Chain A
Amino acid sequence: MLTSVIIVLREVLEAALLLSILLAMCRVLELRRQWFYGALAAGVLGSIGYGLMLGPISEAADGVGQEILNAALQLALYFFLLVIALLLIMNTHGNRRYLGLLQSMMLLAIACATLREGSEIFIYLMAFAPQQALLSSVLSGALIGAGIGFSIGALIYYVLVELPCQYTLGVVLTLLTLVGGGLCLQAAQQLVQADWLPSAMPLWDTSTLLDENSLFGQLLYALIGYEATPTPAEVIAYLLGVGMMVLLIAFALRRSDMEGQNYEFHPD
């Protein structure tokens, strides 16, 4: 039972973290939230489809189809988060622009995040479906894991919503950048595993300091992509992902500040 708590908690935690950030943004920007549940449902349906198709997917691309698809999902999610970050900045100073685009990017990000983590839970539960004796204990463990994961997500949501307005944007942009870096690192890891990227010895080993397997290690993995023994490809992907996001965010912030000043000078 403990195994199922941990497996489900790990997957739910990763998805819940992102969902809570995006849902908090919906609330702050007063976007319609019915869409959110639609995207969530699409993600869940997608997970089931992915889980059922995993056999053929795994055999594609000389047996590394699973890695390629996972990496593609992670990079797509990174791209959605990057666009969301830039659109959030454009909507400061009381502006309301490209809200349709922002909404659809959020939908895609939510569906993508749910699919990525949901499929693993679905496959795990399917593995126990034929074993009636174990199933009830696995299911109750899964419920506990999901409960803990969503509680942590809810906590993050309320912290973000209750933050004083002037800090909300900064905190959300920082979180999105860190999660984005983690996604790039995971994508690189998948491509190394598929032998599509060159692999080398890990650059360092911090597993004695903080075990990836521990709860805090898992939390940091979900939040900033913590990896105890990263290879050069993973470190480069992380730095590129974070670097690109920081540069574009800084650029957008400067433009938005300049517009903000203009707005004050010409209040028409």
Chain B
Amino acid sequence: MAENLRCKALLYTLALGVLAMPLHALAERPVLTLEIRDHLFHPSELVVPANTKVKLIVYNRDATAEEFESYELNREKVIMGGQKAVIFIGPLAPGEYPFFGEFNPKTAQGKVIAQ
């Protein structure tokens, strides 16, 4: 009997957790913007709050496509010329996370600094 109750309690907790997930996803994220101009990132250093998921909007002001790429952030996204891209990053432990433009890796470099 007691075991049965414990099972039920566990199930309800799980169900609540599942229900709470979409609400959590709806919560507003801090928004940060980044620009690509002449195959360079502006700003090249982006400070973000640590331990928080943030919404990064990258504007590609060049006419050609670029790929935002970062092994440290586990992110990869093509941004067509003249378009913007939405990329969610984090939560990040305090530290530095380099990123680069895969199509122009020699010039397009930057880093996210989580603090």
Interface, chain A (partner B; CB < 8 A): 3, 7, 54-55, 58-59, 62-64, 66-67, 120, 123-124, 126-128, 130-131, 189, 192-196, 198-202, 207, 211-213, 227-231
Residue of B nearest to A3 (CB): B105
Give the size range of B's interface with the partner.
Answer: 35 or more
* B75:A198 contact, CB within 8 angstroms: no
Expressed in whole angstroms, the Cα–Cα distance for A120 and B29 within the complex equals 29
Q: By the criterion CB–CB under 8 Å, are A127 and B65 in contact?
A: yes
Contact A63 B85 (CB under 8 A): yes
**How many residue pairs at the A-B interface have CB separations less than 8 Å?**
86
Contact A54 B25 (CB under 8 A): no
Given contacts A58-B83, A123-B78, A198-B24, is CB(A193)–CB(B88) below 8 Å?
yes
Contact B53 A199 (CB under 8 A): yes
6 smallest A-B Cβ distances: which pairs? A63-B86, A127-B64, A195-B88, A127-B65, A55-B80, A212-B71
Closest A residue to B26 by beta carbon equals: A195
Chain B residues whose CB sits within 8 angstroms of the CB of A200 once the complex forms? 91
Are A120 and B83 interface neighbours, CB within 8 A?
A: no
Partner of B71, one of A7, A130, A199, A207: A207
Is there contact, CB below 8 Å, between A199 and B93?
A: no
B interface residues with partner A (beta carbon < 8 Å): 21, 24-25, 29, 51, 53, 55, 57, 63-67, 71-72, 74-75, 77-81, 83-88, 90-93, 102-106
Contact of A194 among B67, B81, B83, B88 (CB under 8 A): B88
A227 to B71, CA, bound (A): 9
| B91 close to A54 (CB less than 8 A) | no
Most central of B72, B78, B85, B90 by chain A CB within 10 Å: B78
Instruction: State how many angstroms separate the Cβ of B39 from the closest Cβ of chain A.
Output: 10
A202: chain B residues within 8 A (beta carbon): 74
Say yes or no: A229-B72 contact (C-beta < 8 A), given A66-B78, A127-B64, A193-B77.
Answer: yes
Chain A residues within an 8 Å CB radius of B103: 3, 7, 124, 127-128
Contact of B90 with A58 in the complex, beta carbons under 8 Å: no
* Whole-angstrom distance between the Cβ of B33 and the nearest chain A Cβ: 13
CA distance A229 to B95 in the complex (A): 14
A127 and B88: CB pair below 8 A? no
Determine the chain B residues whose CB is within 8 A of the CB of A126 once the complex forms.
65
Contact of B65 with A192 in the complex, beta carbons under 8 Å? no
**Closest chain A residue, CB of each to CB of B53:** A199
